[in-house]
Amino acid sequence: MSDMIVRWIILGVYLFIMIGIGVYYRKKTANVADFVLGGRGLGPWFTAFAYGTSYFSAVIFVGYAGKFGWAYGVASTWVGIGNALIGSLLAWLVLGKRTRAMSKFLDAKTMPEFFEHRYNSKTLKTVSALIIFIFLIPYTASVYNGLSRLFEKSFHIEYEWCIIAMAVFTAIYVIMGGYKATALNDFIQGIIMLIGIAAVVVAVLNVHGGLSGSLKAMGAIPDANGNTQVYNSLFGPDPINLVGVVILTSLGTWGLPQMVQKFYAIKDDKAVVTGTVVSTVFAIVVAGGCYFLGGFGRLFMENVDGAPKEGFDAIVPSMMDSLSSGLFALIIVLVLSASMSTLSSLVLTSSSTLTIDLIKPLMKGKMDEKKEVNIMRAFIAVFLLISVAIAIYSLRGAKQDAMVISSLMGISWGALAGAFLAPFMYGLFWKGVTKAAVMASFICGVGITVVHMLIYTFGMIPDAPKTLGGLALASPVNAGAFAMLFGLIVVPVVSLVTKQSEEDAKVTEKAFECYK
């Protein structure tokens, strides 16, 4: 049996299982709470895997592992460690129980609903819903890009058709089964990811004589100044900008609606404890493995004027060329698993936000549960169509250098987490947060991202400085990290100089009764 037939059979079986799960849960999704949150009754393993598989996708495996592995060498493993400790362990410890308790008490099914009920403001709900819908799209496009690169190399299919096929299959099982189908698929996909990452790391390192041989080969590669023993060092050639990557990819999860909403759906406090452990172990293996693997990218790609010959997003697919046919097929399923799980989470978050927080209020009570779920399903299709168009443009367009996977993700995470992280986290712990502070955070998070994008991505100021004291100002990753940290300062400062109305204070007191 030829290698190509084996790959197609494995892929076909996987897709058949995914669609079967969607069909199975089609009749078990009776209302909005079932479709969006699985009835708030999911156990710790399902929730932890849903969190992990939404966190790590082809964006990490293909885009970030490739680009940052090239830039920082083996030191890029610190990004995976940060993802596990900050993005998973601390996120669950700090946010898990309080998010579950307050969102359930407020009957909030989405992040915009949380802002509305916690801060007594329909305006905050509307603005946050628009931010989510707009800035989840580039993230979705980056997921498509990551998968299409690998599919094109493996199956010799044009990337446009890869992107379209992936959107169709994701739409089918999410539209049919909602959150329950997504969670079960995430669990299966997570197991595939754990096995696949471990197998790939071992196989790739063996190409250059195992771990010791690979590290020795990396140490022999000179940096831009001709120095050796840099790309195999503990902190790599550029520790300052490495910190920016760790902050964006780790702290960012605290403010991303598709990540935080996993805590809304978990069953109880006991499940949160178990989920914390499972999620952290999952992140260590998957994120740590991905970035560690990407750190050896220079051994597999020709260096042309400081950049990989075929672009950053081609590094990891090129590393896969050294694998056996069976293992390559496993990698295809691994990346497809990671990508479809993230996509399903993104489209479900976007469609539910748009329906519950924007469309339903305009209907003024004329929308029943069945119609609400059907509208969500329609918006899933709309969201996927828009993101498909952006993904194809970003791969075809003249500005491909500005549209690499890491740039698209940096724009999305920077705007979303920059806007939401601070008001969401502070809102769980501090009664003194004001509406003005929340809106200030929204404006700063989106504003910093958009201004940076106009200056550097689209080149509106050609002579803008590219670096400052070693910090890469043109990096959307660093801009996103700055937006998050800036929000953590803006919210308390604005809250201290503004006041809550008596009505807002009563709503706040009521919200905090959930912890009694």
**Spatial separation of the C-alpha atoms in residues 372 and 159, rounded to whole Å:** 34
The answer to whether the beta carbons of residues 157 and 73 sit under 8 Å apart is no
Helix, strand and coil in the chain, % to nearest 5 = 80, 0, 15
The answer to whether the beta carbons of residues 332 and 10 sit under 8 Å apart is yes
Chain-centroid distance, C-alpha 245: 14
Domain extents in the chain: 40-389
**Residue 14 to residues 17, 20, 66, 153, 333, Cα–Cα distance (Å):** 5, 10, 26, 19, 7
Tokens, residue 497: 């100089």
Residue 98 exposed, middle or buried by CB count within 10 Å (0-12, 13-18, 19+): middle
Assign 155 to helix, strand or coil. helix
Per-residue pLDDT of the chain (516 residues; tens, 9 = 90+): 566 777 777 777 777 777 777 777 666 665 565 565 555 556 677 778 778 877 776 667 777 788 889 989 999 999 999 999 999 999 999 999 999 999 989 988 888 889 999 999 989 988 998 898 888 777 776 666 666 666 666 667 776 777 777 778 777 766 766 666 667 767 777 787 788 788 888 888 888 888 899 999 999 998 888 888 889 998 888 898 899 889 988 998 899 888 888 888 787 788 888 889 999 999 999 899 989 998 998 888 888 777 787 777 778 777 877 777 677 777 777 677 666 666 766 777 777 777 777 777 766 666 666 777 777 777 777 777 777 777 676 655 534 444 455 666 778 888 999 999 999 999 999 999 999 999 999 999 999 999 998 888 777 888 888 887 778 888 888 888 999 999 999 999 999 999 999 999 999 999 999 988
Q: What pTM, to 2 d.p., does this model score?
A: 0.82
**Spatial separation of the C-alpha atoms in residues 147 and 58, rounded to whole Å:** 6
Q: Is the dihedral of CA 330, 293, 48, 177 positive or negative?
A: negative
Fold of 40-389: Sodium/glucose cotransporter (1.20.1730)
| Strand-pair category, 303-304 with 307-308 | antiparallel
Helix 3-25 vs helix 325-353: crossing angle, to nearest 10: 30
**Spatial separation of the C-alpha atoms in residues 461 and 454, rounded to whole Å:** 8
Q: Write a three-state SS string for 233-250.
A: CCCCCCHHHHHHHHHHHH
pLDDT value at residue 402: 44
Tokens, residue 245: 């990557």
Look up residue 462 and give its DSSP letter: T
The single-letter code of the amino acid at 107 is D
**Range list of H helices, 156-231:** 159-206, 210-219
pLDDT value at residue 224: 80
Residue 284 CB-half CA count within 13 A: 8
Where do we find the tokens 């980056």?
142
Cβ-based neighbours of 401, under 8 Å, separated by 6 or more: none
| Strand-pair category, 303-304 with 471-472 | unpaired
pLDDT value at residue 173: 65
Closest CA to 69 of 54, 79, 57, 56: 79
Closest CA to 345 of 253, 250, 414: 253
